[in-house]
Amino acid sequence: MKKILITGGAGYIGSVLIPILLQKNYHVTVYDNLMYGGDHLVHYVSNKNFEFVKGDIRSSSLSRVTKNKDIIIHLAAIVGYPACSRDPKLATNVNVKGTKNLLKNLSKNQIIFYASTGSNYGSLDEVCTEESKLNPLTVYAKTKTTAEKLVINRGNFMAFRFATAFGIAPRMRLDLLVNDFVYKMMSQNYLVVYEKNFMRTFIHIKDIARSFVYGIENFKKMKNEVYNVGNEKLNYSKEDVCNIIKSKVPGYIYFSEIGEDKDKRDYVVSYKKIAKTGFKLQYTVDQGIDELIKTIPLLDFKSKFFNAS
């Protein structure tokens, strides 16, 4: 039985990935400081193949957790433009120094999967491939780009540059673009959008989780490569996303010509590389929005759903 360590496993991605790995009979250890809580993990405690260890990715005691693990899925990070901009020092310490600390505590034969981001591309006129020059514009993107390079240089890895996530998860996030837009339309019946023509690519949180499982199962043929993870069909402008939401949720959308989105990402991405390996997405933006519409009325809106709060 393969033993998997998920750093930051109590977060948005981890909360969807854990049950999939357990169903496939992997032994799963979650290592997390529970910055955003961990009550959604209680369900797994009775599973003999699940283990939780509370700790910080920057801790000197990390070696006790990495020992004897076959695969490390490195999710631990301060995630998103708002959260990183609010505390750049913390973002650098966790995203960069935390990654250095993790790598220091791994042996060469241990496999590492790194959750990177399309934010690394910043704002490019060309269609972004894995060979495109990186142009990180925010603290979040800069720290993730630096950490990604550390993982690449270490070897025995796979790095996924994910499109912008959306969809529901046990550890919910409402500060992601699609999730945020749906939440605001449903809670206040209007939405103000800056720079409506800015392009972004999206991926359902379940497809993110699926990509890790796919990478594990196909590691030999995919190892030591960076992959954009998404699908060209989910390349949308902000206006495109708003029009889908408006077709499902009553309310008013104002596209402002004055003001700017401080998150300056604007790019179109190619996903041909990972598609050639056989990986395909299963979920659409329409499906994700439908799920959000059903879910949002059930949520008790507290700051834990927003990474920057």
Across the range 69-97, mean pLDDT stands at: 94
Predicted pLDDT at 301: 60
What value, to the nearest 5°, has the Cα angle with vertex 125 and ends 122 and 127? 90
What are the domain boundaries of the chain? 3-166+202-230, 177-201+233-266+284-305
pLDDT in tens, 250-270: 999 999 887 666 666 677 899
- At 245, the amino acid letter reads I
Q: Is 199:268 a contact under the CB 8 Å cutoff? A: yes
Q: What is the pLDDT of residues 43-58, one digit of tens each?
A: 999 999 999 999 999 9
Q: Which residue has the higher pLDDT, 199 or 252?
A: 252
> Which one-letter amino acid corresponds to residue 64?
R
Residue 114's region, left for phi above 0, alpha for psi from -120 to 50, else beta, is: beta
**Is 36 a residue whose pLDDT tops 80?**
yes
Could you tell me which residue, 274 or 85, shows the higher pLDDT?
Answer: 274
- Whole-number pLDDT of residue 308: 61
Pick the CATH number of 3-166+202-230 from 3.40.50.720, 3.40.1280.10, 3.30.300.30, 3.50.50.60: 3.40.50.720
Percent of the chain with pLDDT over 90: 83
pLDDT the model gives residue 125 = 79
Instruction: Specify the pLDDT at position 122.
Output: 81
For residue 209, pLDDT over 80 is answered with yes
| This prediction's pTM | 0.94
Average pLDDT over residues 155-159: 97
| 177-201+233-266+284-305 under CATH 3.90.25, yes or no | yes
**pLDDT computed for residue 261 by the predictor:** 64
- More confident: 211 or 303: 211
Q: What distance in Å separates the CA atoms of residue 194 and residue 60, rounded to the nearest whole number?
A: 43
Q: Are 99 and 151 in contact (CB under 8 A)?
A: yes
Q: What is the pLDDT of residue 248?
A: 96
User: DSSP labels for 93-105?
Assistant: IIIIIHHHHHHHT
Query: CA distances (Å), 41 to each of 5, 105, 108, 262, 273, in order?
Result: 15, 25, 30, 34, 34
- The mean of the pLDDT values for the chain is 93
212-254 confidence digits (pLDDT tens): 999 999 999 999 999 999 999 999 999 999 999 999 999 999 9
pLDDT confidence of residue 306:
61
User: Is-contact 153 108, C-beta < 8 A?
Assistant: no
